[in-house]
Amino acid sequence: MLPTRPISKMGSPSPKSYTKITLKPNAWSDGRELDLEALASGDVHRARAELLQAIHHLGWGETDLKALSAESQYKAFERALFLPPKLPLEDVVALLCCCGEYTDPIRALFYEHGKTYGLLQFVLATSSDPALLEQVRQLPKSDQVILARRLGNNKGKDLSAFIEENTYATGMSPSFST
């Protein structure tokens, strides 16, 4: 299904966050009506295949492919943020003290467009899945900006609670932090 708003790492979106899509009988649907929400709850692969078949008949544009690519990248960040590794508090404080003065252009972009929350989510996700960093570097700048803004707008908690939940004090093992 297609989310209408970002999903927080706190769990699955509520049913209200989905757009209900029903494919009416047509040439490609063999005269049957498909409720993708019901289909996706049982057979995700078939739901994707049916949706792709329907989209194929509508035609793909360059902007559609870019939007799909950006959505796919965002989903990769959501997966990485589901259970991110905790970061040393000292590293997070150093990150926050830079106030946007980053030598790494990707971090600077994420701070500029995602603000502190977006940058922290970016750092947590790329710590959880280092391959994401290279994938983001390969994205066009416009898609990087979209991703940074989405991460910055995905505020499941206030910033202090988010930092407390995702850091550990230097000298302590992450498994012993609260």
Instruction: Classify residue 110 by burial, with Cβ atoms within 10 Å: 0-12, 13-18, 19+.
Output: buried
- Write the pLDDT tens digit of every residue in 56-114: 777 777 777 777 777 787 888 888 878 778 888 888 888 878 766 777 899 899 999 99
For 130-153, how does the pLDDT look when each residue is reduced to its tens digit (9 = 90+)? 888 898 898 889 889 988 998 888
Contacts of the segment 50-53: beta carbons below 8 A, 24+ positions apart: 50/23, 51/21, 53/28
Of 2, 164, 134, 152, which Cα lies nearest the Cα of 67?
2
pTM (predicted TM-score) = 0.60
pLDDT higher at 102 or 20: 102
Q: Which two tokens stand for residue 112?
A: 């500029």
Mean pLDDT within 1-7: 36
Pairing of strands 87-88, 167-168: parallel
- In which band, very low, low, confident or very high, does the pLDDT at 7 lie, cut at 50, 70 and 90? very low
pLDDT at 149: 92
pLDDT of residue 77: 82
